[in-house]
Structure 1
Amino acid sequence: MPVRTVPTKGPWEAPAVFPLGLAAITHRRFPPGRARIDDAFSLRHFADLTAAYGVDHRPELVREAAGNTFADMAGELLAALDPQDRRAAAATQAPPIDLAVVAHATPDLDCRLAAVTSLSERVPGDPLSFAVSECGSNAPFAALRLADAYARRHDLRSVAVFVLDQATFPYETGRDLAGDAGLALLLTDTGSLGRLTLWQRTGTGPDDVPAAVRTALAELDATGCPLVLGAALDPARDLPGHPGRIVRTPPGHPASGTLTALAADPAWAAGREERIAVVDHEPDTGDLAVCLIERGGR
Structure 2
Amino acid sequence: MTVAIVTDSTASLSSADAKRECIVVVPLKVIIGADTFVEGSAELTSDMIAEALADFVPVSTSRPTPAEFAAAYEQAVADGAEHIVSVHLSGKMSGTVESARVAARECAIPVTVVDSGQVGLGVGFAAGRAAAARDAGGDAAAIAAAAVRAGEATTIALYVDTLEYLRRGGRVGAAAALIGSALAVKPILTITDGVVVPLERVRTSARALARLETLAVEAVQACTNGYSIGVQHLANEAVAEQVATRLATSLGVDSVAVDEVGASIGAHVGPGMVSVTVTPL
TM-score after normalising by structure 2: 0.37
Ranked by relative contact order (alpha carbons within 8 Å, sequence separation 6 or more), the top structure is 1
